[in-house]
Amino acid sequence: MKKSDFGEDFLWGVTIAAIQNEGASFTKGKGLTIWDTFSKRIGKIKNGDTPSHACDFYHRYKEDLLLAKQLGFKVFRFSIAWSRILPEGQGRINKSGINFYHQVIDECLTLGLTPYITLYHWDLPHDLEKEGGWCSHFLLKWFSRFVTVCAENYGSKVKNWIILNEPMGFTTLGYMLGIHAPGKMGLNNYFPAIHNAALAQAEGGRIIRELVSNANIGTTFSCSEVMPFSDKEQDIKAAARMDLMLNRLFIEPLLGKGLPHVEDFPMLEKMLVHNKTWKYTERLQFDFDYIGIQNYFALTVKHNPLIPYLQASEVKAKTRKVPYTDMGWEINAESCYRMIKRFWDYGNIRKLLVTEGGAFFKDKLINGTVDDAQRIQYFQEYLEAVLKAKREGVNVGGYFAWTLTDNFEWSEGYQATFGLIHVDFSTQQRTIKNSGYWWRQFLKS
């Protein structure tokens, strides 16, 4: 497999996110985010880590962008920290925050890296969370203002936009299971959060379309093939429920198909009663130029009556003796291929981009080298899967690696490293891993 097999126009990118990379959390007027406060709660983040320093992209963006360029990438995807430009989430604008992203964008353009801006990568301003966050009726109003400020400031320079990063991820982990910020739990938080996220993804698209000429607008979805543990009917139904929640809940309303449905899933009825507007589909729809998909693992699921609502639970890759990463996530490139095909089969998506893909394996820096052969193999297998889908006619137009440097991996803290570049967090010294060198070679092929 060579880069040229993917064709001339295929986009090769690398992705980071504000709260995971920037650090400088309290610098030049930045407001608190839900991750600053959540990470202070005992036991929420491994080793008590907080995102306050991360890998200091804020001060080292020039070095990092140069590294991205040197590895051969042409696209740089990053997110805007809402509270850096609007410290309270609404109201006054922080000029120094606005300037920071101008500097990042200008540096990208100087280096010949095409910027892709993610508007929301999970770092809600803390002040908005105090008012209800993603559960609030005002969320759409706050989000619209944030999107407008970004479009008005950067729209003349940046044409490629991503509205949300994985709405399933931040709503489920943050507002249902409580394991991500802001740590809320239960259906009373979850239902309004998912509904507001579904509205925000479409509304954000409309705002960018209106304010940015010639914009190329997308949004991203996590996706995981869900397989039943056995051919028992109960397991098959459990897998269908999990599949609905993980893969269908946000994309189907967006594509005009309304709230998805499977049999024997009483929670869906509750969802409809709670969020009556699921039925009024127009506001949930937007004709995106591309859809970003992010596939990190496949799931095997069995019926489990002890799990509330879903009555389904994962049978871990480890216990099934199939390959997995150090996150415990099943490695299954063939299932990534099937998810790409499945999204494409919806029929009304113009283009797909793989806007993230990557893996955590424990790295060892020995004599200036990180020999991360497993990560190289992971990328090779997953790229083969993308190529296979492309050859079968799927319009998949790019692959963005997650992630440039080791960074703050949410509730896993700093020990879960996904980077192509190793970071010593005590000195901020960067060392290109062998996977980074592999990308450099591959991107020349």
Active site amino acids: 166, 356
Angle at which helix 333-344 crosses helix 373-391, to 10 degrees, equals: 30
Judged by CB under 6 A, the number of residues near ligand BGC is: 12
Q: Which is nearer to ligand BGC, 98 or 423 (CB)?
A: 423
CB of 7 to ligand BGC, least distance (A): 26
Mapped to the 3 state alphabet, what secondary structure does the chain carry?
CCHHHHCCCCEEEEECCHHHHCCCCCCCCCCCEHHHHHCCCCCCCHHHCCCCCCCCHHHHHHHHHHHHHHCCCCEEEEECCHHHHCCCCCCCCCHHHHHHHHHHHHHHHHHCCEEEEEEECCCCEHHHHHCCHHHCCCHHHHHHHHHHHHHHHHCCCCCEEEEECCHHHHHHHHHCECCCCCCCECHHHHHHHHHHHHHHHHHHHHHHHHHCCCCEEEEEEECCCEEECCCCHHHHHHHHHHHHHHHHCCHHHHCCCCCCCCCCCHHHHHHHHHCHHHHCHHHHCCCCCEEEEECCCEEEEEECCCCCCCCEEECCHHHHCCCECCCCCECCHHHHHHHHHHHHCCCCCCCEEEEECCCCCCCCEECCEECCHHHHHHHHHHHHHHHHHHHCCCCEEEEEEECCECCCCHHHCCCCCCCCEEEECCCCEEEECHHHHHHHHHCCC
Contacting range for ligand BGC; rule: CB under 6 A; set: 5-13, 67-75, 153-161, 162-170 = 162-170
Question: Quick count: other Cβ atoms within 10 Å of Cβ 265?
Answer: 20
* Contact stretch for ligand BGC (CB under 6 A) within 23-31, 91-99, 165-173, 176-184: 165-173
Quick one: 235 or 363, whose CB is closer to ligand BGC?
Answer: 363
Nearer to ligand BGC, 14 or 98 (CB): 14
CB of 351 to ligand BGC, least distance (A): 20
Rounded to a whole number of angstroms, the minimum distance from the CB of residue 82 to ligand BGC is 15
Which of residues 98 and 298 has its CB atom nearest to ligand BGC in the complex? 298
Q: In this complex, which beta carbon is closest to ligand BGC, that of residue 402 or of residue 439?
A: 402
Choose which of 203, 243, 356, 372 interacts with ligand BGC (CB under 6 A): 356
Hey, which residues between 280 and 339 contact ligand BGC (CB under 6 A)? 294, 296
Return the number of the residue (33 or 90) whose C-beta is nearest ligand BGC: 33
Establish if 165 lies at the interface with ligand BGC (CB under 6 A). yes
* CB of 387 or CB of 401, closer to ligand BGC: 401
Options 56, 127, 129, 166; binder of ligand BGC; rule CB under 6 A:
166
Residues within window 370-429 making contact with ligand BGC, judged by CB under 6 A: 402, 409, 418
Question: Given the complex with ligand BGC, which of 127 and 166 has the nearer CB atom?
Answer: 166
3-state secondary structure of 418: coil
Least distance in angstroms from the C-beta of 404 to ligand BGC: 12
Compose the 246-285 pattern: x for residues touching ligand BGC by CB under 6 A, - for all others: ----------------------------------------
Of 191, 174, 192, the closest CA to residue 183 belongs to: 174
Give the pair of three-digit tokens for residue 261. 């449905």
Among 169, 204, 205, 228, binds ligand BGC (CB under 6 A): 169
Nearest approach, Cβ of 344 to ligand BGC (angstroms)? 21
Q: How far is the CB of 287 from ligand BGC (least distance, A)?
A: 24
**DSSP 8-class letter at 388:** H
Q: Which stretch binds ligand BGC (CB under 6 A): 26-34, 164-172, 206-214, 390-398?
A: 164-172
Task: Give the nearest distance from C-beta 192 to ligand BGC in angstroms.
Answer: 22
Nearest-approach distance from CB 407 to ligand BGC, in angstroms = 7
Residue 64 lies near ligand BGC (rule: CB under 6 A): no
Q: Bridge partners of 120?
A: 164
Q: Contact with ligand BGC (CB under 6 A): which of 222, 295, 300, 411?
A: 222
Q: For residues 355 and 13, what is the distance between their CA atoms, to the nearest angstrom?
A: 8
> Does 56 help bind ligand BGC (rule: CB under 6 A)?
no
Smallest CA-to-CA distance from 118 within 89, 166, 62, 80 is with 80
Which residues inside 89-118 make contact with ligand BGC, applying CB under 6 A? none
By CB under 6 A, name the binding residues for ligand BGC: 17, 20, 165-166, 169, 222, 294, 296, 356, 402, 409, 418
